[in-house]
Structure 1
Amino acid sequence: MVLLPQSPTHPTLYDTDFWAWTQTQVKLLQDQQWEHLDLPNLIEEIESLGRQQRQELRNRLSVLIGHLLKWHFQPEQRTRSWVSTIRIQRIDTLDLLDDNPSHKPYLAQIIPRVYVMGLELAIKETDLPPAHFPENCPYALEQILDSKFFSGEPSELLANFER
């Protein structure tokens, strides 16, 4: 299979059918047909995968922090759904870190950034004023990831989830 260079009159398989392009690239790699690989797009996609993993980690942590803030600062509104969200985000975050251990040093670097996103979530979902929340993340990274940590006053809702 010869892949034509991209041009307005000759779009590549990458442009017209991404799934088919991926399968072609896999086959070329398996067959060690290096000269037929679409290296520019292959490089771009591999770089993109790395960025996606970091984005996924930031998203998970921001939702987790947002729900920890809601839990802490609006205790009268607590629900089992909040407990589930906190637990699932922790599990998924830890799974991401298990799959990508080189991201662990990145965590301390992104906490201030994901705190801002989590804070926005908490403000939007609680209707509490921004001044009601701490300016900086009140939780240590170890607390954020600790399956037993729930900030604020104890809650009966946690009894159903303890093992």
Structure 2
Amino acid sequence: MTPQAADSTTQVNTPSLYDTDFLLWIENTVACLQARKFENLDLENLIEEIDSLGRSDKRAVSSYLMRLCEHLLKMAFWDSERANCFRGWDSEIANFRAQVQEQLDTSPSLRPWLEKDFLKQYKLGRKLFLKSSGLAADVVPENPFFSLDQALEEDWLPPLNSLE
């Protein structure tokens, strides 16, 4: 089809390499970058992928923080299960802290994001905790009773609150 014959009603969109073979697209993009053949780059999709990497890191660190808050709440408030589940909860807390720390080690600029997102993730963790524990919502503070620094501190555990 000649350029003159192509119009919006007859133009056929051929799928790009990005759409048909993502891994090959990555390999080609890396090769173009290494060879400094910038004119051959699929800039639109490259920009989109780089931007999505940042969003992905933010989602991951937020998810780890939410689960960390959930387990800290289990430690603090779920008295009836604490004796049987302490080791598992403690292990999960250590795991989520390690995951958050790994993200922060590779991307320190995520720290301000985490500070901004802390209240939201606490509230989501609280919601998960209340669902799994069956405890009344008024038993657990709606706002964090611990700081982000405490939550991330290797040996810190919340004070135990007796409900029974």
Whether TM-score is above 0.5 comes out as yes
Q: Which residue is 2:35 aligned to?
A: 31
- Higher mean alpha-carbon deviation, 127-136 vs 28-37, is at 127-136
Residue of 40, 60, 76 corresponding to 1:56:
60
Q: Which residue is 1:160 aligned to?
A: none
Alignment of 1:22-101 (within 5 A): 22-78=26-82, 79=85, 80-101=87-108
Residues 10 and 116 of structure 1: is their aligned pair in 2 closer, same or farther, counting only changes over 3 Å? same
Residues 42 and 12 of structure 1: is their aligned pair in 2 closer, same or farther, counting only changes over 3 Å? same
Aligned-residue CA RMSD (Å): 1.6
Q: Which residue is 1:121 aligned to?
A: 128
Deviation at residue 71 of structure 1 after TM alignment: 1.0
Residues 114 and 8 of structure 1: is their aligned pair in 2 closer, same or farther, counting only changes over 3 Å? farther
Q: Which has the larger radius of gyration?
A: 2
Q: What is the TM-score normalised by the length of structure 2? A: 0.85
Q: Which runs of 5+ in 1 are unaligned?
A: 1-6, 155-163
CA contact 1:28–1:36 (8 Å) conserved in 2: yes
Q: What is the TM-score normalised by the length of structure 1? A: 0.85
Residues 84 and 8 of structure 1: is their aligned pair in 2 closer, same or farther, counting only changes over 3 Å? farther
Identity %: 37
